[in-house]
Chains A and B, each alone.
Chain A
C-alpha cells in the first residue's frame, strides 16, 4: 500500500482535496505515528506540528533527503580532517567538486526518471559519452545549439530503442541496457575513430568555445550576485504565491513559516555557493573567480525535471506505474508508451551529462576520458543514495542532484589523499561500497515503511 498510497499526496499536492482542518492533530500525531504521517505533514497548521509530522515520517521509514544530507556532512568533515593540509573544503576544491558533480547530477536525474518506473538503465554512461562525442564532432562544423540538439536527439533515439525493447517485448530492462551498454561502448569507439581516436574543442572558434564554456566559463562575480538575487526572488515569490493561492482557495497549504524557512534555506545555499565561487581560485598571474556556467545549467535541468515529474501528467504517470503498474494500467495509463518515453528522456538527459563531462575535461574526448561502466555505477549510486528508490515510485530530481554532489565529493576527496597505489582500487571500491550502502538503506527503509510485498 505504502508507495501507492503516498502517490497523490507527494506528487500532486496541487490536486489534493482539502482536508477538514483538524484541531486535535497534535494529540493524534503521537497516538498513531505510523498511519498517514504524510497527510499529517500536509495538514499541519503550525511549524511545530509540521516538524513533528516530518519527524514521524522519517521514523516510519520515509527519510527523504535526510540520509544524503547527513552523509554529506560526514564526508565533508572526514575528508577535511584526513586530506593533507586539510585542503578538502578550500574554495578552489569545492568549485572543482561542483563542476565534477554536475556530470553525476545530470546523469543521476536521468537515471531517476527510469528508476521511478522500477526499471534501470545501465547504458547511461555509454550513451552519455556517445552524446558528448557526437556534439563535439558536430560542433566542428555546425553552430553550437544545432550540435547540442542533434546530440540530445540521437541519444533520445538510442533510449527510445532500448525503451521499446523493454516496454513492448518485456525484456528485463537490466538485460536490454546491459546489452545497450556493450553496444554503445563499441559504437563510442567507432564514433571516436578507433581505440586511439580523440576529438578536441578548438577554443579559438566561437561555437566550440561556447560548449567549452558550458563548464569552464564563469559568470563575473557581480553578475553572479545579481543572478542569485533574481533566482531566489523568482523561486521565493513562486513558492509564496502558490501557498497563498492554495490557502485562498481553501486547499491544504504548508504553514507560512514553513514556506518562509524554505525560501530562506534556498537563499542561504545560494549565497554560500556564490560566495565560495567568487573567491579568487586562480594563480597569482591569472585570477579565476565567479560561478561556473554549469551551475545555473544544472539548476535549469533540475527545475525542468522537477516541474515535469511533479506538475505534469507524464510525471504523475511515472509515479503511478512505479508504484503499481497494474493499477496504472487499469486506470488507463499506456504503460508501453510512458516507459518508452521515459527511456528516451533518460538517454537525452544523459547526453547532456556527457556533453558536460567532455567540457569538464577541458574539451577533450578520448577513450580514456571516462570508463562508461564506472560512470553508470556512480550514476546509480548517486540516485539511490540521494533517496530514489530502486523499486520504483519514490524519488525526485533533487535527490539526483544531492546524490551527485555526494558522489562527486567522495570521488574527488579520494584523489586528494595521495594514497599512491591504493588510489586506483579505491576508485572502484568506494562507489561499490556506497552503492551497496545506499541500496541497503533503501531496502531497510522500505521494510520500515511496512509496505514490501514482493517476494
Chain B
C-alpha cells in the first residue's frame, strides 16, 4: 500500500481496463490496492477517480486549497489591502518561516512522532549564526557561519533522535525537555545582550541580512521562472514518456500538461506580484531570495521522500513500524536521520529568522517557541497526518501559507496577538479533528 502511494513510478502495470469508469463509481471504497487515478486513461477518468478518493476520506490537498481560498476571500472582503501586491509579498516572506518549520515537522510526523523543539532549534540557529558573523566577535565569513550553524542544529537533532529511537523515550517528552534546554543554551549564547546583523558596513552581516530581505531583480526573476518551469516541465514530461515506453502505469498526457500549465500560471502570478514595486519610497521589487530557498528545500525534501529508499522507509515506519521492522528496515537509524533532517531544516529557518529579525534579544528567542505550534498546525492543516505515514512536504508549504495568511490578515485588522493565538489554536484543533475524522472515513489500515 505505502509502496504505491509513496512511489508511483514503481507500481506494476495493471491490465488496461476498459470498464474502469463503471468500476470506479461502483467500488470506490474497495479499490484501495491500486489507486484508480493510477490506472485512469483520460483526464475525465482521472478527475472522477480523484473525487471518489476524496469521498473515501483521503482528501489530500483539497481542504488546504479550500482554506487558502476562504482565507483570501474573507480577508480581502474585510480589508481591500489584503490581496495587494505589497501585502502578498509580505505574507509570502512571513509564511516562508512557517513553511520551512512545517516541512521540518513533517519529517517527524511521517514517522508518527512529533518534534516540539523545531521552534527553538530555529531560535538557537539564529543566535549562533548571528554571533558567528559579529565583526567584534568571531568574525567568521558568512558561509562558514551558516555551515557551522546547520551542523550544530543537526547535532541537536541527532541527540534528540537517539533518545527517541534508541531509548524509546516518547518523542514529545524528549523534544519538550529538549526545547527547554535549547532555550537556555540559546540565551547563554546570546549572552544576555542584543545581537544584530543590520550593519551594512560589514559584508558578512550584509549577506546574512539580504538572505531574507534581498530579492532577485525583475529580469532575473523572469529568467529563473522560465528555467524552473522549463526544467520541471521537461522532467515531468520525460518521466511520463519513459514510463509509458516501458509499459508502466502513467497518468494521461492531458493531466501532465495540465500540471505543467498550472505550475507555470502559479509561477507567473508569483513573479508578476513580486515584480510590482512595493516600496513606499524608492524601489523594492523582484522575487525575494527566500521564495527560492523554500522551493529548493521543498524540491529536495520531496525528492528525498518520494524517490529514494529512505523516503519509502519513512512512510513504511509511519504506516506500521512493526511491519517495517520485520521487512528489515532499521527503525532507529531511519528515525534518527529524520530528526537530524528536521533539525537541519529548522536550522535553515533559523538563518532566515536571524535575517528577518535583524537584531535578536532574549525575548525574541523566548517567542521562537510559539512557532512550533504554528509549524504543527501548518503541517496538519496542509494534510499531513498526526498518526504517521501520510503526508508530503508540499502540505507544509500550503499549510504554512494558510497560517501566514491568518496571521497577516488578523494583524491587518488590528487584532491583538492574544486573539491571534486563540484563532491559531482553534485552527490547529480543527485541522486535527479533520485529520482524525478523515482517517475514520478512510479504509481501515491494518
Contact = CB atoms under 8 A, between A and B. Distances in A.
B180 A428 contact: yes
Interface string A378-421: 00110000000010000000000000000000000000000001
Bin the interface of chain B by size: 35 or more
Nearest to B179: A432
Interface string B410-421: 000000111111
Interface in B1-36: none
Contacts of A185: 418, 421
Given A425-B187, A429-B184, A183 B177 contact: no
A160 B145 CA distance: 49
Contact of B373 (A120, A171, A182): A182
Nearest to B321: A455
A31 B376 CA distance: 52
By secondary structure, the B interface counts as: helix
A176 B432 contact: yes
Interface in B176-227: 176-181, 183-185, 187-188, 191-192
B429 A421 contact: no
Given A182-B424, A421-B191, A436 B185 contact: no
B173 interface: yes
Contacts of B436: 169-171
Given A186-B421, A431-B180, A436 B428 contact: no
Interface stretch (B130-138, B163-171, B258-266): B163-171
A426 B184 contact: yes
Given A165-B429, A182-B373, A429 B421 contact: no
A181 B169 CA distance: 23
Contacts of A431: 180
Interface in B422-446: 422, 424-426, 428-429, 432-433, 435-437
Nearest to B323: A455
A176 B429 contact: yes
A183 B187 contact: no
Interface string B33-48: 0000000000000000
A100 interface: no
Contacts of B386: 171-172, 175
A377 B428 contact: no
B425 A186 contact: yes
A179 interface: yes
A342 interface: no
A32 interface: no
Interface residues of A, number: 48
A428 B421 contact: no
Contact of A171 (B167, B174, B432): B432
Contacts, number: 139
Interface string A165-208: 10001111011101111110111111000110000000000000
A429 B181 contact: yes
Given A174-B172, A421-B191, A439-B169, A186 B180 contact: no
B362 interface: yes
B42 to A, nearest CB: 39
A55 B157 CA distance: 39
Interface in B229-287: none
A436 B174 contact: yes
B114 interface: yes
Contacts of B185: 425, 429
B369 interface: yes
A439 B174 contact: yes
Contacts of A432: 176-181, 183-184
A380 B172 CA distance: 12
Nearest to B325: A455
Nearest to A180: B425
A179 B428 contact: yes
A169 B386 CA distance: 14
B376 A178 contact: yes
Give the interface centre of B178, B386, B429 by most chain A CB atoms within 10 Å: B429
Contacts of A452: 168
Contacts of A435: 173, 176-177, 180
A96 to B, nearest CB: 23
26 contacts: A120-B172, A175-B380, A176-B432, A178-B428, A179-B429, A182-B370, A182-B428, A183-B426, A186-B418, A186-B425, A187-B418, A187-B422, A188-B418, A190-B422, A390-B173, A424-B184, A424-B192, A425-B183, A425-B184, A428-B181, A432-B183, A435-B173, A435-B177, A436-B174, A436-B177, A440-B167
Closest 8 CB pairs of A and B: A432-B180, A429-B184, A425-B184, A428-B184, A183-B425, A186-B421, A182-B425, A432-B181
Given A380-B176, A436-B169, 6 more contacts: A179-B373, A182-B370, A194-B416, A425-B187, A432-B177, A433-B181
